[in-house]
Structure 1
Amino acid sequence: MDLGMVGLGRMGANMAQRLVRGGHRAVGYDPGAQARERAAQAGVDAVDSLQALVAALSAPRAVWLMVPAGQAVDDTLAQLLPLLAPGDTVIDGGNSNYKDSVRRAEQLAQAGLHYLDCGTSGGVWGLSEGYSLMIGGDADAAERLRPLLETLAPTPDRGWGRVGPNGAGHYTKMIHNGIEYGLMQAYAEGFAIMQRKAEFGLDLHQVAQIWRHGSVVRSWLLDLSADALGRNPTLEGIAPYVADSGEGRWTVAEAIDLDVAAPVITASLLERLRSREKDSYADKLLAAMRNEFGGHAVKAG
């Protein structure tokens, strides 16, 4: 079975390469010549235009988008729509907002096209370990792509599934990423406490390795933390600046909309925002207030 892949960044190229290794044909397009060249070296049929990509696929076509969420998806769809035919399927495998996915599905349905929103987790390890795929959209369209999905997943019967109608795939991935924020923050805080306990001289890499086996808190995130601590125990050269892709914000907003308390996820998002403050006005004001009511000393900045 063949698949068109639009967007040959690291994740898109890895997904296409995993399909090729699984015996499928992947046709890839990216506006960057270097990205196309890297994909071609991995066995992907790289082309230099969306027109060439669509022409190279057998009908009914399946085109997978791995482009940045937001306007880039709408722009790509605007270029693709005139090239596709009724019965074709477009899959958005990026981190789109689920509300956008519902809107896009309705738009494509008017042209007789299927639209699947696929929350995709696995990162740079997906090529070797497989991807977790959360699919929203028409059940028949998802079933038609079963051979591709089974190849992308960790195993044919694990790590993937249709979770509901259009929007449900990206909604599930949004919540997945919100949970991820909380887990990462808890690990970071726990290791920071241990690092501060200087008199014990704890080897944090050793502790992480112990926890990886048999402990209640073992996880893949802990495995990755252990790897990072093994390479760089003091985390030298890493700035204390944590970005966010937006899905944590959407999760918090959804919790508020649904009147669901989500204090851990919310706090972890706020900590990421705080990490970016080089000159915190709030902290200065806190110090000033302590000085005003209690005469506590203020450090000169």
Structure 2
Amino acid sequence: MSHAEIGLIGLGVMGSNLALNIAEKGHPIAVYNRTASRTGLFFENAEGLRENIVPCTTLADLVAAIRPPRPIIIMTQAGKAVDEQIAALRKLLSPGDIIIDAGNANFRDTMRRFAELEGSGIEFLGVGVSGGEEGARHGPSIMVGGAKESWHRVEPVLTAIAAAYNGEPCAAWLGPDGAGHFVKTLHNGIEYADMQMIAEVYGVMRDGLGMGPKEIGQVFGRWNEGPLNSYLIEITSAVLAADDPQTGRPMVDVIVDSAGQKGTGRWAVIEAQMMGVPATGIEAAVAARSLSSMRQERDAAERAYGSPVKPIDPADRDALIADIEQALFAAKIGAYAQGFAVMRAASQEFGWDLPMATVARIWRAGCIIRSQFLDTIASAFEAKADLPNLLVSRAFVSMVSKAEPSLRRVVATAATHGLAVPAISSALAYFDAYRLARGTANLIQAQRDFFGAHGFERIDGPGAHHGPWGGHMAG
């Protein structure tokens, strides 16, 4: 007999924890995994939550266990696996049932799936879930895209399992079709930039100032009590304080310096480029991860050139650490500004009407990039919904103006001491280029006209023009 409110397919780390979260909040859930033994093990380990869990060995059993209209969450690997599950479910579901893809899907796949299901009677939601394993279990940030009516039908469950900030659930409907997954993609892009910038200042302290992990961790701990207060700063302090149980050495010192990536950061960069919106911090972070994987090449290059690192005078340490705090703060603002600018462009291109203030609010708890200044971001968009860039909002102009001298000094110090800070350097270049009323693209336009007769606009009149290049020919 049907008695589950909702179903879930895919009992990996995220799926298992999400299912336990749903069950714990009092919502009976039917679960299915392609490997039946995993379903059995999950149910066995659920202990006191078993009364709210219905383990199923087939998709047909899963569908039968859920009260119609049936919402079913898919938590499988993005791409082909999701399409296969949707195809299998379509044979079993009835009009009004809802398929919910809560994985890290490419939003363009989500839009395609909406189009494919249109007219079938089966509803679809593309849902971004952020917070990792801990968030899935105890309260993630949830970003929903799809028909608003479908969201309202699952809203009681999703708001119950979401993180809360001052009693407000960090879950919201953000727009139609791919809106939720797009926002999650940009969340991850900002996350890439944030993590890279943190790693860069760690490198300045480690390699430039000769500080050890625990000492650097204490610095991050102090920073977490001020404007930099955020989840990533908090866990960085904890990571740097940890020791390896096998060797007794600092844990971070025995980890290979090659960072993995699953694609969402790269998607964010690609979409920013396609929309013509600069997201240089995210681009630098994705490139840095790719460069980190080239370990043999980096080793060979160091043998060929020698290490670029030059120690920084310890007498400058306290002043530099104070500057690094302000520089990291300014650079992080730049990364968020770029991410929100990309979302704004996508909202206009796809007609989503993304509620930017709501996006900032649902990121205040549960998600990986939760930080103190998300309240300020929300306030900026509440004051001006069509704000083109956070950098021109009054609050952020004040904060960045105060931090800019430190950012400039840190980038200069890093450059003169051979310390790679690509994401932080990109933030300074972005600030400088964004606030420069007359840049240097006039020369680029002249060059384009010279070799390709592309034409240009004049500052003293409208229309397309060509330069007096005469008989000069491109070589």
Normalised by the length of structure 2, the TM-score is 0.58
Q: 1:212 to 1:162 in 2, by over 3 A?
A: same
Aligned 8 A contact 2:21 2:138 in 1: no
Task: Quote the offset at 1:223 in angstroms.
Answer: 1.3
**Structure with larger Rg:** 2
The corresponding residue for 1:295 is: none
Q: 1:52 to 1:125 in 2, by over 3 A?
A: same
The corresponding residue for 2:384 is: none
**SS of match in other structure, 1:8:** coil
**SS of match in other structure, 1:169:** helix
Aligned 8 A contact 2:142 2:162 in 1: yes
- The correspondence for 1:203, drawn from 212, 215, 232, is 215
Is there any run of 5+ residues in structure 1 with no aligned partner, and where? 289-301
| CA–CA separation in structure 1 for the residues paired with 2:195 and 2:211 | 24
2:197 matched to 1:194? no
Q: 1:226 to 1:35 in 2, by over 3 A?
A: farther
- The correspondence for 2:257, drawn from 216, 223, 240, is 240
The corresponding residue for 1:168 is: 179
| CA–CA separation in structure 2 for the residues paired with 1:281 and 1:194 | 21
| CA–CA separation in structure 2 for the residues paired with 1:185 and 1:224 | 14
The corresponding residue for 2:22 is: 19
State the aligned residue count.
287
2:176 matched to 1:159? no
- Opposite residue 54 of structure 2, the aligned amino acid is D
| CA–CA separation in structure 1 for the residues paired with 2:204 and 2:108 | 39
**SS of match in other structure, 1:235:** helix
| CA–CA separation in structure 2 for the residues paired with 1:246 and 1:32 | 26
- Opposite residue 262 of structure 1, the aligned amino acid is A
Aligned 8 A contact 1:29 1:46 in 2: yes
How do 1:245-260 residues align onto structure 2 when only pairs under 5 Å count?
245-260=262-277
**SS of match in other structure, 2:91:** helix
Q: 1:286 to 1:110 in 2, by over 3 A?
A: farther
Is there any run of 5+ residues in structure 2 with no aligned partner, and where? 244-249, 306-475
Task: Quote the offset at 1:217 in angstroms.
Answer: 1.5
How do 1:38-187 residues align onto structure 2 when only pairs under 5 Å count?
38-40=41-43, 41-42=45-46, 43=50, 44-127=53-136, 129-155=138-164, 157-187=168-198
Task: Quote the offset at 1:279 in angstroms.
Answer: 2.4
| CA–CA separation in structure 2 for the residues paired with 1:250 and 1:200 | 35
Aligned 8 A contact 2:20 2:137 in 1: no
The corresponding residue for 1:230 is: 241
| CA–CA separation in structure 2 for the residues paired with 1:26 and 1:270 | 41
| CA–CA separation in structure 1 for the residues paired with 2:257 and 2:299 | 18
Task: Quote the offset at 1:10 in angstroms.
Answer: 1.1
Identity value in percent: 34
2:291 matched to 1:274? yes
- The correspondence for 2:281, drawn from 246, 264, 268, is 264
Deviation track 1:237-277 (CA, whole Å, cap 9, x = no partner) reads 31111111111111111111111111110010000001111
Task: Quote the offset at 1:50 in angstroms.
Answer: 1.0
2:11 matched to 1:8? yes
Aligned 8 A contact 1:18 1:151 in 2: no
The corresponding residue for 1:292 is: none
170-179 or 145-154: bigger deviation:
145-154
Deviation track 1:60-112 (CA, whole Å, cap 9, x = no partner) reads 00000000100010011111110000000010000111011011112122211
Task: Quote the offset at 1:157 in angstroms.
Answer: 3.1
The corresponding residue for 2:227 is: 216
- Opposite residue 268 of structure 2, the aligned amino acid is T
